[in-house]
Amino acid sequence: MDYIYDDQNIFAKILRGELPCNKVHETEHSLAFADIAPKAPHHVLVIPKGPYVSYDHFARAASEAEILDYTRAVGEGIAKLGVGPGDGGNGYRVISNSGSDGVQEVPHLHVHILAGRNIGPLVVNQP
Ligand code: AMP
């Protein structure tokens, strides 16, 4: 594994308190906050507090405690929005972009939780 983490990325600055965020949920290892440019009525980002670049980096290198905490934090973020089918909601989409083909802008792992409208097709362009 050869992942290089840039600690000057925007989400690292949010975690250090150098930039503000609109916090939705926080745990020992994870933070959920509103996306600054929402693409849906509900648009929440969930990040681990550790220095992980992408989903694959996190899944391969994080501790079991971090992975458990993060997975639960995503669930809590969805629960707080009240959009899960189990809560009577209309559903949501969870997306994690990685690298250039994934069109990742911020090189710190995050999942997007999008909800509040029909989110549309998985991707716009065909293969
Ligand atoms: P991605 O393309 O998956 O890396 O998405 C990065 C997301 O971070 C975009 O949806 C941005 O709107 C969002 N974003 C960028 N800066 C901030 C910020 N300071 N606070 C909250 N969200 C941000």
CA of 9 to the centre of ligand 1 (A): 11
How is residue 61 written in tokens?
A: 């290198």
Name every residue whose Cβ is closer than 8 Å to that of residue 115 and which is 6 or more positions away in sequence: 40, 41, 42, 78, 81, 83, 89, 90, 91, 92, 93
Length, in residues, of the chain: 127
CB within 6 Å of ligand 1 — which residues? 10, 19, 21, 35-37, 45, 97, 103-106
pLDDT score for 124: 83
pTM for the model stands at 0.97
Residue 75 lies in a domain: yes
Confidence of residue 126 (pLDDT cuts 50, 70, 90): confident
Domain span at 91: 10-115
Residue 121 lies in a domain: no
Number of domains in the chain: 1
Across the chain, mean pLDDT equals 97
User: 56: buried, middle or exposed (CB in 10 Å: 19+, 13-18, 0-12)?
Assistant: middle
Residue 54 lies in a domain: yes
- Point out the residues that are catalytic: 110
Overall average pLDDT of the 56-71 stretch = 98
